[in-house]
Amino acid sequence: QVQFVESGGGLVQAGGSLRLSCAASGSTFSINIMGWYRQAPEKQRELIASISRGGYTNYADSVKGRFTISRDNADNTLYLQMNSLKPDDTAVYYCNAPYDSRRFAYWGQGTQVTVSS
């Protein structure tokens, strides 16, 4: 019954910033680690950032130093602050629970981020 709804995507120029949000609902009490994924056209979906309930974070090298993942546990909301955006960041961005056994049923529609040069 877990649902994730992503929002905040859009069109931005290179060097700009964007903040994505992920609203979670349903039986999320058992989820510890949440993450952001992205999928560019004709490429594999990749995990780019993750965060535990305690605030421990991990980032892919491609976004380290530019993106910041955070969460509001009380509101069941996940965020991704994206700075210094590059055209290579263009993708559909999704949130999910990367280590939850039921994660494959949780995928939302994602939110499109397009970075122009």
pLDDT of residue 91: 98
Assigned token pair, 35? 């993450």
Residue 84, phi then psi, degrees to nearest 5 = 50, 50
Strand 10-13 relative to strand 111-116, pairing: parallel
Closest among 83, 88, 74 to 116, alpha carbons compared: 88
Tell me if 16 sits within 8 A of 115, measured CB to CB.
yes
Per-residue pLDDT tens digits of the chain, which is 117 residues long: 899 999 999 999 999 999 999 999 999 888 999 999 999 999 999 999 999 999 999 999 999 999 999 999 889 999 999 999 999 999 999 999 999 989 999 999 999 999 999
pLDDT of residue 29: 83
Tell me if 76 sits within 8 A of 24, measured CB to CB.
yes
| Chain length of the chain | 117
pLDDT of residue 42: 93
Residue 15, phi then psi, degrees to nearest 5 = 90, -10
pLDDT of residue 1: 81
- What is the amino acid identity at position 88? D
